[in-house]
Amino acid sequence: MKILVVGSGGREHALCWAIAASPLCDTLYCAPGNGGISREAVCVPIDPLDIDALVNFAKSTGIDFVVVGPEAPLAAGLVDRLEASGIAAFGPSAKAAQLEASKGFARDLCQRYGIPGPDYARFTEPAAALNYIRNRGAPIVVKADGLAAGKGVTVAASLAEAEAAVVALAEGQFGQAGSEIVIEELLRGEEASFFALVNGDTVLPLVGAQDHKAVGEGDIGPNTGGMGSYSPAPVLTEHLEQRIIEEIIVPVARAMVEEGHSYKGVLYAGVMIGDEGPKVLEFNVRFGDPECQVLLPRLMSDLLPALIATRDGELAHFDLRWLPSAALCVVMAAKGYPGDYEKGSEIKGLQKLDDMDDVIAFHAGTRLEEGKVITAGGRVLGVTALGGDVAEAQARAYQAIDMLDWPSGFCRRDIGWRAISSS
Ligand code: AMP
Ligand code: GLY
């Protein structure tokens, strides 16, 4: 089969790494890909949001199956357009992608179908949002309704902070994404992510993971796209996973069918585990990044047939096998990230990691130049290692990182601390 993966981050490198290993895959393309992906796939310089160009490329190249990595092309209708052109694609329709692309849509759906989440309210008028916040008091959570690359959420400790967040959204900080505002009760507990393949009301649970969003050690400082991740997540006991499947994943899949927006693809539930059990923080309509970089190395089964079965509606009798080992991914970023940072420095020593067992360096913001790996983004590498438990995987990931020579990069040295301190 000819397969096309859409995207250019570490998640897409992990997808390409897994798909390239499938006996079903004859030729793998990635649009636009990155320096690491070019080792697994033919990279084609097409922007993930250039839907016409992607559809034309898929048609003219005879692509059999497209796997869409990020949320923005899904929300823009890439899968709808590919399918309408007769090209099979993995991922939800634009309508179903509203689960991530409109936080208000997701909250309303959960409320209508009794799926546990925080109290919330939706506003198109900033003045009404400010009133609501003053009545409720702080702490309180202020969100842009639409896609804001994970940066549209303010967990406000004070009224002043919440008010400033509303004003910033009203002034267009996130453009159209903030033209509607969602205000939520602050949920307390420990966050975890759970993933499932879904087609209509058929659900195939995958596994859980946790990520570190903040840039600083101890999970402090500004939020980023993710500085590291690990799987399994010790907080997700078998009992809790079962509750997440029964109380969140299956009901939301059924609700989407009921509403006429049948869901197809991977569903990522971000949950807060508190005293009353799991509650929905958010849904994402794609694999997590950097969670994908720890999920796929644990998958013993072939990923590609599972993605095809999801698209074809044949998940019901599908089974996937997972390594019992833990996987941990440490993200390396350019110094300054998530603020200003420089591009164009060389990363040396990556070939040493090729010789290590059970260590994989997934690339994000990199490009190849005359055989050299050059940085081209903020988050640059995700170094994943497997181990008997999270502590062993962590030790091996840092051992690998210490072999790299990249003076203008940094990483957090405490990825997995919560899992390790709880064991
Ligand atoms: P979201 O993109 O909606 O998941 O929000 C990003 C992050 O903000 C989450 O991963 C949480 O850490 C935090 N967050 C979002 N909503 C809430 C909430 N209602 N209560 C507490 N924290 C939240
Ligand atoms: N790691 C968080 C996300 O992918 O949204």
With the most atoms of ligand 1 within 8 angstroms of its CB, the residue from 99, 282, 286 to mutate is 282
**Does residue 206 sit within a domain?**
yes
Which of the 8 DSSP states describes residue 342? -
Instruction: Give the closest ligand to the alpha carbon of residue 71.
Output: 2
> pTM of the predicted model, to two decimals?
0.96
Q: Quick one: 346 and 406 in the same domain?
A: yes
Q: Which residue among 276, 297, 317 closes a domain?
A: 317
Q: Which residue among 184, 211, 231 closes a domain?
A: 184
**Does residue 78 sit within a domain?**
yes
Q: Which residue has the tokens 């966050």?
A: 191
Q: Which residue has the tokens 């990520």?
A: 211
User: The domain containing residue 36 runs over which residues?
Assistant: 2-93
pLDDT per residue as tens digits for the range 356-378: 999 999 999 999 999 999 999 99
Nearest CA to ligand 2 atom 4: 288
**Does residue 243 sit within a domain?**
yes
- 47-58: average pLDDT: 98
**Does residue 61 sit within a domain?**
yes
**Does residue 77 sit within a domain?**
yes
Neighbours of 391 (CB within 10 A): 16
pLDDT per residue as tens digits for the range 153-186: 999 999 999 999 999 998 888 777 778 999 999 9
Q: Quick one: 263 and 335 in the same domain?
A: no
Lowest mean pLDDT among 52-61, 146-155, 228-237, 287-296: 146-155
CA nearest 204: which of 302, 66, 309, 304?
309
With the most atoms of ligand 2 within 8 angstroms of its CB, the residue from 153, 280, 289, 362 to mutate is 289
Q: Quick one: 245 and 364 in the same domain?
A: no
Protein residues with CB under 6 Å of any ligand 1 atom: 118, 141, 143, 150, 153, 155, 184, 186-187, 191, 270, 281-282
Nearest CA to ligand 2 atom 5: 288
| CATH label of the domain that carries residue 418 | 3.90.600.10
Q: Quick one: 44 and 134 in the same domain?
A: no
Q: Quick one: 168 and 228 in the same domain?
A: no
- 40-62: average pLDDT: 98
Q: Quick one: 393 and 369 in the same domain?
A: yes
Q: Quick one: 222 and 240 in the same domain?
A: yes
Q: Quick one: 295 and 209 in the same domain?
A: yes
Could you tell me the distance, in angstroms and rounded to a whole number, from the CA of residue 418 to the centre of ligand 1?
A: 18
Average pLDDT across the chain, whole number: 96
pLDDT per residue as tens digits for the range 71-97: 999 999 999 999 999 999 999 999 999
Q: Would you state the pLDDT for residue 82?
A: 98
Residue 173's φ and ψ, nearest 5 degrees, are: -55, -40
Task: Name residues whose C-beta falls within 8 Å of residue 28's C-beta, 6 or more positions apart in sequence.
Answer: 3, 4, 5, 16, 19, 20, 40, 41, 42
- The answer on pLDDT for 132 being more than 90 is yes
Q: Quick one: 202 and 231 in the same domain?
A: yes
Q: Quick one: 204 and 313 in the same domain?
A: yes
Q: Quick one: 175 and 215 in the same domain?
A: no
Q: CA–CA separation, 417 vs 272, rounded Å?
A: 18
Q: CA–CA separation, 145 vs 181, rounded Å?
A: 5
The count of structural domains within the chain is 4
Task: Name residues whose C-beta falls within 8 Å of residue 380's C-beta, 6 or more positions apart in sequence.
Answer: 332, 333, 334, 347, 363, 364, 365, 366, 409
Q: Quick one: 203 and 287 in the same domain?
A: yes
Atom of ligand 1 nearest to the CA of 187: 20
Q: Which residue among 155, 184, 213 closes a domain?
A: 184
Q: How far is CA 240 from the centre of its chain?
A: 21
Q: Where are the beta strands (DSSP E) in 241-325?
A: 264-274, 277-284
